[in-house]
Protein backbone atom coordinates (compact mmCIF):
# COMPACT_ATOMS: atom_id res chain seq x y z
CA UNK A 1 0.00 0.00 0.00
CA UNK A 2 2.77 2.37 0.90
CA UNK A 3 4.19 2.03 -2.58
CA UNK A 4 0.97 3.21 -4.10
CA UNK A 5 0.57 6.09 -1.71
CA UNK A 6 1.83 8.55 -4.30
CA UNK A 7 -0.63 7.30 -6.84
CA UNK A 8 -3.56 7.35 -4.46
CA UNK A 9 -2.98 10.85 -3.19
CA UNK A 10 -2.28 12.32 -6.61
CA UNK A 11 -5.33 10.73 -8.20
CA UNK A 12 -7.47 12.06 -5.37
CA UNK A 13 -6.11 15.50 -6.07
CA UNK A 14 -6.81 15.12 -9.76
CA UNK A 15 -10.33 14.14 -8.83
CA UNK A 16 -10.65 17.30 -6.76
CA UNK A 17 -9.62 19.37 -9.76
CA UNK A 18 -12.06 17.57 -12.02
CA UNK A 19 -14.84 18.13 -9.52
CA UNK A 20 -13.93 21.79 -9.33
CA UNK A 21 -14.11 22.03 -13.07
CA UNK A 22 -17.34 20.13 -13.50
CA UNK A 23 -19.22 21.68 -10.65
CA UNK A 24 -17.87 25.20 -10.91
CA UNK A 25 -21.29 26.75 -11.51
CA UNK A 26 -22.49 25.27 -8.23
CA UNK A 27 -19.34 25.78 -6.23
CA UNK A 28 -18.68 29.38 -7.22
CA UNK A 29 -20.16 31.94 -4.87
CA UNK A 30 -20.68 34.48 -7.65
CA UNK A 31 -21.00 34.69 -11.38
CA UNK A 32 -17.48 35.10 -12.75
CA UNK A 33 -18.49 37.60 -15.35
CA UNK A 34 -20.50 39.97 -13.26
CA UNK A 35 -18.67 43.18 -12.70
CA UNK A 36 -19.09 45.29 -9.62
CA UNK A 37 -16.93 48.33 -10.04
CA UNK A 38 -17.87 49.75 -6.72
CA UNK A 39 -16.28 46.77 -5.05
CA UNK A 40 -13.20 46.49 -7.18
CA UNK A 41 -9.82 45.45 -5.82
CA UNK A 42 -11.15 44.33 -2.51
CA UNK A 43 -9.18 42.12 -0.20
CA UNK A 44 -10.43 38.90 1.29
CA UNK A 45 -13.86 39.10 2.82
CA UNK A 46 -16.78 36.93 3.68
CA UNK A 47 -18.59 37.95 0.57
CA UNK A 48 -15.61 37.62 -1.72
CA UNK A 49 -13.36 34.94 -0.16
CA UNK A 50 -10.43 35.67 -2.42
CA UNK A 51 -11.20 39.28 -3.12
CA UNK A 52 -12.16 40.99 -6.33
CA UNK A 53 -10.24 41.96 -9.42
CA UNK A 54 -9.96 45.32 -11.15
CA UNK A 55 -13.46 45.00 -12.52
CA UNK A 56 -14.99 43.91 -9.28
CA UNK A 57 -15.34 40.30 -10.31
CA UNK A 58 -15.04 37.58 -7.71
CA UNK A 59 -11.59 36.07 -7.86
CA UNK A 60 -12.62 32.75 -6.36
CA UNK A 61 -15.37 32.28 -8.90
CA UNK A 62 -13.07 33.16 -11.76
CA UNK A 63 -10.54 30.76 -10.38
CA UNK A 64 -13.08 27.95 -10.37
CA UNK A 65 -14.29 28.72 -13.84
CA UNK A 66 -10.68 28.96 -14.92
CA UNK A 67 -10.31 25.34 -13.88
CA UNK A 68 -13.06 24.52 -16.32
CA UNK A 69 -11.40 26.36 -19.14
CA UNK A 70 -7.99 24.85 -18.61
CA UNK A 71 -9.12 21.30 -18.00
CA UNK A 72 -11.61 21.27 -20.84
CA UNK A 73 -9.14 22.68 -23.32
CA UNK A 74 -6.38 20.37 -22.16
CA UNK A 75 -8.56 17.28 -22.40
CA UNK A 76 -9.77 18.37 -25.80
CA UNK A 77 -6.20 18.72 -26.98
CA UNK A 78 -5.41 15.33 -25.49
CA UNK A 79 -8.10 13.56 -27.46
CA UNK A 80 -7.48 15.24 -30.76
CA UNK A 81 -3.74 14.72 -30.60
CA UNK A 82 -4.31 11.14 -29.50
CA UNK A 83 -6.28 10.43 -32.63
CA UNK A 84 -4.01 12.28 -35.01
CA UNK A 85 -0.77 10.90 -33.64
CA UNK A 86 -2.11 7.33 -33.59
CA UNK A 87 -3.21 7.59 -37.19
CA UNK A 88 0.03 9.10 -38.38
CA UNK A 89 2.16 6.81 -36.22
CA UNK A 90 0.38 3.67 -37.34
CA UNK A 91 0.53 4.61 -40.98
CA UNK A 92 4.21 5.43 -40.83
CA UNK A 93 5.10 2.47 -38.67
CA UNK A 94 3.04 -0.16 -40.36
CA UNK A 95 3.22 0.74 -44.02
CA UNK A 96 6.80 1.85 -43.82
CA UNK A 97 8.79 2.66 -46.90
CA UNK A 98 8.15 5.95 -48.64
CA UNK A 99 5.12 6.82 -46.52
CA UNK A 100 7.21 6.38 -43.41
CA UNK A 101 10.07 8.42 -44.79
CA UNK A 102 7.91 11.30 -45.85
CA UNK A 103 5.82 11.41 -42.69
CA UNK A 104 8.82 11.22 -40.42
CA UNK A 105 10.67 13.89 -42.34
CA UNK A 106 7.66 16.16 -41.95
CA UNK A 107 7.62 15.42 -38.25
CA UNK A 108 11.32 16.17 -37.96
CA UNK A 109 10.89 19.53 -39.59
CA UNK A 110 7.88 20.35 -37.45
CA UNK A 111 9.83 19.37 -34.38
CA UNK A 112 12.65 21.72 -35.22
CA UNK A 113 10.56 24.70 -34.27
CA UNK A 114 10.35 25.07 -30.51
CA UNK A 115 6.90 24.26 -29.21
CA UNK A 116 5.92 27.53 -27.76
CA UNK A 117 7.19 29.57 -30.65
CA UNK A 118 5.33 27.44 -33.11
CA UNK A 119 2.10 27.73 -31.19
CA UNK A 120 2.68 31.45 -30.98
CA UNK A 121 3.12 31.75 -34.69
CA UNK A 122 0.09 29.64 -35.53
CA UNK A 123 -2.07 31.70 -33.25
CA UNK A 124 -0.57 34.76 -34.82
CA UNK A 125 -1.47 33.51 -38.25
CA UNK A 126 -4.97 32.43 -37.40
CA UNK A 127 -5.78 35.16 -34.96
CA UNK A 128 -6.48 34.95 -31.28
CA UNK A 129 -9.36 33.36 -29.55
CA UNK A 130 -10.01 30.13 -27.85
CA UNK A 131 -10.71 28.08 -30.96
CA UNK A 132 -7.50 29.08 -32.71
CA UNK A 133 -5.49 28.53 -29.58
CA UNK A 134 -6.94 25.04 -29.43
CA UNK A 135 -5.90 24.39 -33.02
CA UNK A 136 -2.43 25.80 -32.44
CA UNK A 137 -1.71 23.76 -29.34
CA UNK A 138 -3.07 20.60 -30.89
CA UNK A 139 -0.99 21.11 -33.99
CA UNK A 140 2.13 21.55 -31.96
CA UNK A 141 1.51 18.63 -29.61
CA UNK A 142 0.82 15.67 -31.84
CA UNK A 143 4.18 15.54 -33.58
CA UNK A 144 6.35 14.11 -30.83
CA UNK A 145 3.89 11.38 -30.03
CA UNK A 146 3.55 10.36 -33.66
CA UNK A 147 7.21 9.50 -33.69
CA UNK A 148 6.96 7.43 -30.54
CA UNK A 149 3.96 5.55 -31.86
CA UNK A 150 5.68 4.91 -35.13
CA UNK A 151 8.63 3.33 -33.35
CA UNK A 152 6.34 1.22 -31.24
CA UNK A 153 4.36 0.04 -34.24
CA UNK A 154 7.51 -0.78 -36.11
CA UNK A 155 8.82 -3.03 -33.39
CA UNK A 156 5.42 -4.61 -32.84
CA UNK A 157 5.22 -5.33 -36.53
CA UNK A 158 8.23 -7.60 -36.18
CA UNK A 159 6.68 -9.58 -33.37
CA UNK A 160 5.84 -13.18 -34.04
CA UNK A 161 2.11 -13.08 -33.80
CA UNK A 162 1.79 -10.11 -36.09
CA UNK A 163 3.94 -11.89 -38.62
CA UNK A 164 1.77 -14.95 -38.31
CA UNK A 165 -1.36 -12.90 -38.76
CA UNK A 166 0.06 -11.38 -41.91
CA UNK A 167 1.09 -14.74 -43.24
CA UNK A 168 -2.37 -16.13 -42.75
CA UNK A 169 -3.78 -13.25 -44.70
CA UNK A 170 -5.51 -11.29 -41.98
CA UNK A 171 -6.40 -7.87 -43.40
CA UNK A 172 -4.15 -5.02 -42.29
CA UNK A 173 -6.84 -3.09 -40.54
CA UNK A 174 -7.73 -6.02 -38.36
CA UNK A 175 -4.12 -6.62 -37.43
CA UNK A 176 -3.73 -3.04 -36.41
CA UNK A 177 -6.90 -3.02 -34.44
CA UNK A 178 -6.45 -6.35 -32.71
CA UNK A 179 -2.74 -6.64 -32.17
CA UNK A 180 -1.14 -3.30 -32.33
CA UNK A 181 -3.56 -0.79 -30.91
CA UNK A 182 -4.15 -2.55 -27.59
CA UNK A 183 -0.45 -2.23 -26.88
CA UNK A 184 0.06 1.22 -28.22
CA UNK A 185 -3.00 2.81 -26.75
CA UNK A 186 -2.36 2.54 -22.99
CA UNK A 187 1.27 3.63 -23.32
CA UNK A 188 0.41 6.64 -25.41
CA UNK A 189 -2.52 7.56 -23.23
CA UNK A 190 -0.20 7.50 -20.26
CA UNK A 191 2.34 9.67 -22.01
CA UNK A 192 -0.34 12.17 -22.92
CA UNK A 193 -1.63 12.28 -19.38
CA UNK A 194 1.87 13.15 -18.31
CA UNK A 195 1.88 15.84 -20.96
CA UNK A 196 -1.32 17.40 -19.66
CA UNK A 197 0.66 19.56 -17.30
CA UNK A 198 2.65 21.16 -20.07
CA UNK A 199 -0.48 21.67 -22.15
CA UNK A 200 -2.03 23.60 -19.32
CA UNK A 201 1.12 25.69 -19.03
CA UNK A 202 1.02 26.39 -22.73
CA UNK A 203 -2.61 27.49 -22.49
CA UNK A 204 -1.84 29.89 -19.70
CA UNK A 205 1.23 31.26 -21.46
CA UNK A 206 -0.68 32.02 -24.62
CA UNK A 207 -3.54 33.56 -22.71
CA UNK A 208 -1.11 35.64 -20.73
CA UNK A 209 0.14 37.18 -23.93
CA UNK A 210 -3.40 37.96 -24.88
CA UNK A 211 -3.39 35.54 -27.75
CA UNK A 212 -5.55 32.86 -26.34
CA UNK A 213 -8.69 33.19 -24.40
CA UNK A 214 -10.54 36.42 -24.89
CA UNK A 215 -12.16 38.55 -22.24
CA UNK A 216 -14.38 38.19 -20.35
CA UNK A 217 -13.69 34.47 -20.17
CA UNK A 218 -12.00 33.26 -16.99
CA UNK A 219 -8.54 31.85 -17.47
CA UNK A 220 -5.66 31.88 -15.06
CA UNK A 221 -2.98 33.17 -17.40
CA UNK A 222 -5.19 36.00 -18.45
CA UNK A 223 -5.98 36.81 -14.85
CA UNK A 224 -2.28 37.26 -14.22
CA UNK A 225 -2.00 39.49 -17.25
CA UNK A 226 -4.86 41.62 -15.99
CA UNK A 227 -3.20 41.97 -12.63
CA UNK A 228 -0.01 43.43 -14.09
CA UNK A 229 -0.93 47.03 -13.42
CA UNK A 230 -1.88 46.38 -9.84
CA UNK A 231 1.23 44.46 -8.90
CA UNK A 232 2.24 46.79 -6.12
CA UNK A 233 -1.16 47.59 -4.68
CA UNK A 234 -2.86 44.22 -4.91
CA UNK A 235 -0.22 41.55 -5.31
CA UNK A 236 -2.66 38.79 -4.40
CA UNK A 237 -4.30 39.22 -7.78
CA UNK A 238 -1.05 38.03 -9.28
CA UNK A 239 -0.17 35.43 -6.67
CA UNK A 240 -3.40 33.53 -6.57
CA UNK A 241 -3.90 32.52 -10.20
CA UNK A 242 -0.20 31.68 -10.42
CA UNK A 243 -0.44 29.41 -7.41
CA UNK A 244 -3.45 27.80 -9.01
CA UNK A 245 -1.61 27.13 -12.26
CA UNK A 246 1.43 25.78 -10.45
CA UNK A 247 -0.64 23.52 -8.22
CA UNK A 248 -2.69 22.18 -11.09
CA UNK A 249 0.33 21.44 -13.26
CA UNK A 250 2.13 19.98 -10.26
CA UNK A 251 -0.78 17.69 -9.47
CA UNK A 252 -1.05 16.45 -13.04
CA UNK A 253 2.69 15.95 -13.33
CA UNK A 254 2.76 14.10 -10.06
CA UNK A 255 -0.19 11.97 -11.07
CA UNK A 256 1.40 11.12 -14.39
CA UNK A 257 4.69 10.29 -12.76
CA UNK A 258 3.09 8.10 -10.10
CA UNK A 259 1.03 6.34 -12.74
CA UNK A 260 4.09 5.67 -14.82
CA UNK A 261 6.02 4.30 -11.85
CA UNK A 262 3.10 2.03 -10.99
CA UNK A 263 2.81 0.79 -14.56
CA UNK A 264 6.54 0.27 -14.87
CA UNK A 265 6.48 -1.80 -11.71
CA UNK A 266 3.86 -4.03 -13.22
CA UNK A 267 5.89 -4.66 -16.30
Partner 1 sequence: MFAFFVKRLVSMLLALFGITIIAFGLIRFIPVDPVEAYFTINQIPATEEAMTSMREDMGLDQPLGTQYIVWLSHALQLDFGTSFVSKKAVATELFQRFETTFLLAVTALVIIIVSSLTIGIWSASKNSGWLDWLTRTAIFTIASMPSFWLAFLFIYTVALKWGVLPLMGWGSFAHVILPSITLALGFIPYYIRLIRSSMREEMKKPHVLFARARGVKETVILRTHIFKGILPQLITSLAMTCGGLLGGAAIIENVFAISGVGHFIVEAMLARDYAVLQAFIVIIGGLYIIVNFIADILCAVIDPRVRLKGGAL
Interface residue list for partner 1 (CB under 8 A):
105-106, 108-110, 112-118, 120-128, 197, 201, 204-205, 208-211, 221, 224, 228, 231-232, 235, 238-239, 241-242, 245-247, 249-250, 253-254, 257
The crossing angle, in degrees rounded to 10, of helices 236-266 and 59-90 is 40
Nearer to partner 1, 37 or 102 (CB): 102
Q: Which of 219, 227, 225, 226 minimizes the C-alpha distance to 245?
A: 219
CA dist 164 and 167 (Å) reads: 5
Nearer to partner 1, 36 or 257 (CB): 257
Nearer to partner 1, 124 or 186 (CB): 124
Please report how close the Cβ of residue 94 comes to partner 1 at its closest, in angstroms: 19
Task: Check: CB of residue 64 under 8 Å from CB of residue 28.
Answer: yes
Task: Check: CB of residue 17 under 8 Å from CB of residue 67.
Answer: yes
Please report how close the Cβ of residue 250 comes to partner 1 at its closest, in angstroms: 4
Please report how close the Cβ of residue 161 comes to partner 1 at its closest, in angstroms: 28
Nearer to partner 1, 123 or 175 (CB): 123
What single string gives the DSSP state of each residue in 103-156?
HHHHHHHHHTS-HHHHHHHHHHHH-SSHHHHHHHHHHHHHHHHHHHHHHHHHHH
Please report how close the Cβ of residue 72 comes to partner 1 at its closest, in angstroms: 19
Task: For residue 55, give every residue at least 6 positions away whose Cβ sits within 8 Å of its Cβ, in sequence order, or none.
Answer: 35, 36, 37, 40
Please report how close the Cβ of residue 98 comes to partner 1 at its closest, in angstroms: 13
Nearer to partner 1, 116 or 183 (CB): 116
Amino acid sequence: MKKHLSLIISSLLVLVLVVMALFAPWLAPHDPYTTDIANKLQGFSMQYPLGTDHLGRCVLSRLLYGTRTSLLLASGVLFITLIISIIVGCLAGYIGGLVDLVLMRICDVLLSIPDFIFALVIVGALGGGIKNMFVAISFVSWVGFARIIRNMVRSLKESTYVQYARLTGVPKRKIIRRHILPFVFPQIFLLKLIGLGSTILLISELSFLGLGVTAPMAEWGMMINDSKTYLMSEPTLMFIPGIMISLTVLIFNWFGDALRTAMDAKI
